[in-house]
Chain A
Amino acid sequence: MALISTRHIKEAVYDMCKNSNYNLPADVSEAMLAASRQEKSSLGKQVLAQLVENSHLAREQNIALCQDTGMIVVFLEIGQEVSLTGQAIEEAINEGVRSAYQDSFFRNSIVHDPLIRDNTNDNTPAVVHYKIVPGDTVKIVVSPKGFGSENMSALRMLKPSQGLDGVKAFVLETISTAGGNPCPPMIIGVGIGGTMEKVALLAKEALMRPINQDHILPHVASLEHELLAEINKLGIGPQGFGGSVSALGVNIEVYPTHIAGLPVAVNVSCHVTRHQQRILAPKNGGDLL
């Protein structure tokens, strides 16, 4: 059995909250540069150049990329041979978030009760998803999610008879409706299959994969490419001002589903799609028992 202290998880969450708000992931940076070359609209080109400049400024001067420093989403993959020691895991994660947001002067964007809407003033709690997997390590993914784009997301339970065409139509309809609101160029996470809650989670997980990495299944990868091309025909363009680059990438995750169903979820993200990951092994984050 491997012992890993939740103190190490807290420290990792702290670092990743800070770093992800200052540093655009490499895949997104590269895609933005490529987009600024491909964009046909001159205003769109100018917008993309300014967004690239924004990301350089954020990185060099430790200024948050976007004032919406997001709600923290954490994916934890815990090896089944691991025993977590110390503080309760969720408390440790939230302490990491709290300290990072206070120390970095990030915006506190979380309200405690969705109806009463009182700010928690420390950007907690995070939304935490746990998965138990084989092995003796803990993988932590931290992603601050902005709500300009989150609000444009949608889920629909399609009929199996609607099939692949129905899936494509729903994704395109969702992105077309989102238009200039979610800070295009967007990154789109799509979930297909599972149940109602599973498909939403798949869409979020899809956003955690680098956009230069295709899905492992060829038919899913080809759908990713097809949808990206179709989205870029919508004409939305950078910031919605019109143009040929509306999205930088489409990532899809799939899961088995019921004979009666075809759930589809579209999680919309902006050009500031932020995520970082770290793996804690007993040798760097705990002690081997």
Chain B
Amino acid sequence: MELFPPLMAIESLECGDEVRFQGVVYTARDAAHKRLVKLLEQGEELPFPAKGAVIYYVGPCPAKPGEIVGSAGPTTSSRMDDLTLPLLEAGIKGMIGKGERSEKVITGIKKHKAVYFAALGGAGALLARCIKHMELIAYPELGPEAVYKLEVVDFPAIVAIDARGRSIYQEGRKQYQAGGMLHG
């Protein structure tokens, strides 16, 4: 399925669905999250339109001369868990990262009818090809952690936690657990 951010009604997406993003996503990881949440706490606006926005947890490699961006795969999402709820409240609808989320984040995803997507961790070379434009939006001093506006084409991801809170990490693992010492 193709998704064109800003995202509107995405309740029909189900955990495990394969999607392709077409359009704008914003980058933000650890240091940028701290700043974005601080802005919201002070009653200020985010540096990009929050309603329906998609945030991609990534700190790309710099672009070589003549190129758009270097290697650009997802970073571990759980480091953003404690800073995610204020962004969901501000209207963010989609997050792209890798790995599991906390129960608090899953509850927030259900409440705000948002979706968490997993991109391929460690496939930075492959994913960089889907980024067609990159523009600095905020915090240039953060270097790889600055906020960038990315225009993507056919950017692949999996619905990892859907708006009902179903998680591929929990369901997928249950399906393939094979007893053994820990779960025997």
Is the A/B pair a real complex? yes
Chain B nearest CB, measured from A64 CB (Å): 4
A39: nearest chain-B partner, CB-CB: B176
B180 near A: Cβ within 8 Å?
Answer: yes
Chain A contact residue count (CB 8 A cutoff): 55
Contact with A along B64-92 (1 / 0, CB 8 A): 10000011110110100000000000000
Cβ-defined contact, B180 with A105, below 8 A: no
**CA of A271 to CA of B120, assembled, Å:** 11
Cβ-defined contact, A239 with B118, below 8 A: yes
Say which residue of A105, A121, A172, A242 sits within 8 Å of B143 (CB atoms): A121
Instruction: Give chain B interface residues in 20-61, CB to chain A under 8 Å.
Output: 31, 58-61
Say which residue of A65, A168, A240 sits within 8 Å of B181 (CB atoms): A168
Chain A nearest CB, measured from B98 CB (Å): 7
Task: Please indicate the chain B residues that have their CB under 8 angstroms from the CB of A236 in the complex.
Answer: 173
Cβ-defined contact, B73 with A67, below 8 A: yes
B1 near A: Cβ within 8 Å?
Answer: no
Among A76-84, A85-93, A177-185, the one that faces the other chain is A177-185
**CA of A63 to CA of B126, assembled, Å:** 9
Cβ-defined contact, A230 with B72, below 8 A: no
A151: nearest chain-B partner, CB-CB: B76
Say which residue of A53, A63, A235 sits within 8 Å of B177 (CB atoms): A235
Contact with B along A108-139 (1 / 0, CB 8 A): 11000000010101000000000000000000
Task: Please indicate the chain A residues that have their CB under 8 angstroms from the CB of B98 in the complex.
Answer: 148, 180-181, 183, 239-240
A50 near B: Cβ within 8 Å?
Answer: yes
Cβ-defined contact, B59 with A107, below 8 A: yes
**CA of A239 to CA of B176, assembled, Å:** 13
A237 near B: Cβ within 8 Å?
Answer: yes
Chain B nearest CB, measured from A260 CB (Å): 26
A73 near B: Cβ within 8 Å?
Answer: no
Task: Please indicate the chain B residues that have their CB under 8 angstroms from the CB of A121 in the complex.
Answer: 143
The A interface is mostly helix, strand or loop, or mixed, namely: loop
Chain B nearest CB, measured from A273 CB (Å): 10
B79: nearest chain-A partner, CB-CB: A151
Instruction: Give chain A interface residues in 32-78, CB to chain B under 8 Å.
Output: 40-41, 43, 47, 50-51, 53-54, 57-58, 61, 63-69
A159 near B: Cβ within 8 Å?
Answer: no
Say which residue of A61, A151, A183, A271 sits within 8 Å of B125 (CB atoms): A61
Chain A nearest CB, measured from B45 CB (Å): 26
Cβ-defined contact, A239 with B120, below 8 A: yes
**CA of A271 to CA of B128, assembled, Å:** 18
Cβ-defined contact, B143 with A108, below 8 A: yes
Chain B nearest CB, measured from A174 CB (Å): 11
Instruction: Give chain A interface residues in 233-259, CB to chain B under 8 Å.
Output: 233-237, 239-244
Cβ-defined contact, A109 with B144, below 8 A: yes
Task: Please indicate the chain B residues that have their CB under 8 angstroms from the CB of A244 in the complex.
Answer: 176, 178
A173: nearest chain-B partner, CB-CB: B182
Task: Please indicate the chain A residues that have their CB under 8 angstroms from the CB of B70 in the complex.
Answer: 63-64, 67, 105-107
Contact with A along B103-138 (1 / 0, CB 8 A): 000000000000000101111111011000000000
Cβ-defined contact, B100 with A179, below 8 A: yes
Cβ-defined contact, B100 with A68, below 8 A: no
Task: Please indicate the chain B residues that have their CB under 8 angstroms from the CB of A237 in the complex.
Answer: 172-173, 176
Cβ-defined contact, B172 with A51, below 8 A: no
User: Chain A residues in contact with chain B, CB under 8 A?
Assistant: 40-41, 43, 47, 50-51, 53-54, 57-58, 61, 63-69, 105-109, 117, 119, 121, 148, 151, 168-169, 172-173, 176, 179-183, 229-230, 232-237, 239-244, 270-272
Query: Apart from A64-B61, A106-B70, what are 8 other A-B pairs with CB-CB below 8 Å?
Result: A54-B126, A57-B126, A105-B64, A179-B169, A183-B121, A232-B178, A234-B177, A237-B172
Can you show 12 pairs from A to B with CB atoms below 8 A apart? A47-B120, A50-B156, A64-B61, A66-B124, A106-B62, A109-B59, A173-B182, A180-B99, A230-B180, A235-B177, A241-B160, A241-B168
